[in-house]
Amino acid sequence: MDLADVDLVAEPGYLDGLTSWPIEEVRRRRTECQRLEDATSYLRRLVQGRLDIVRAALARRAGDRRVFTLADLITELPDTLGDRLVAPGRGNQPPHVLVPPDLPDLTAELDAVCDPTVLAGLAQVPIEVVTALEAALAGLERVVSARRRLLFDRIDAMAAELTRRYRSGEASIDSLLG
């Protein structure tokens, strides 16, 4: 993900003049924010997955077995990651499938904190390193979640403006068909 795009959207003046923008500009910016939010949501889930794995490794070390293998870690992955398959309140609905966005730098920020190959060696890493990794991943999760909330705020503001225009008659549904 290009963080410069998110930085642009995060600028305090990003929505200045929203009520006077042409409707095409509102739609274009809303679509761009939705694309960035999709990528941010995907990144957030990856961060959470790695954080869950690191926390499971810490819990295993605190339990009866201080020594564990990569095979143990892999065997426990369904339990470690399974709690996030269905969001609360979704009932019998199938889980939402996150499709990786086609953004080459999407995971660069995450990989800088926790390269995927690090997870394979968690059993051999000193506890202090695993604890520091957990803290770094938790910090990144907070940053990515805040970024995601900001994008939702922008999307909501533009959706509200579009709704206002349709209700007031400034825009018509027919314009969507043209």
The domain limits of the chain are 3-12+21-83+101-177
- Global pTM reads 0.79
12-60 pLDDT, tens digit each: 999 999 999 999 999 999 999 999 999 999 999 999 999 998 998 888 8
pLDDT at 98 (0 to 100): 56
Between CA 90 and CA 86 the distance in angstroms is: 7
Helix runs in 11-82, H state only? 23-62, 70-82
pLDDT at 177 (0 to 100): 61
Whether 80 shows a pLDDT value over 70: the answer reads no
pLDDT at 1 (0 to 100): 62
Token representation of residue 40: 């941010």
Q: What is the mean pLDDT of the chain?
A: 83
CA distances 24 to 27, 53, 98, 137, 159, Å, are 5, 44, 28, 39, 13
30, 158 Cβ separation under 8 angstroms: yes
pLDDT at 5 (0 to 100): 87
Selected residue with higher pLDDT from 66 and 18: 18
pLDDT at 57 (0 to 100): 86
Token representation of residue 18: 């929203």
pLDDT at 14 (0 to 100): 96
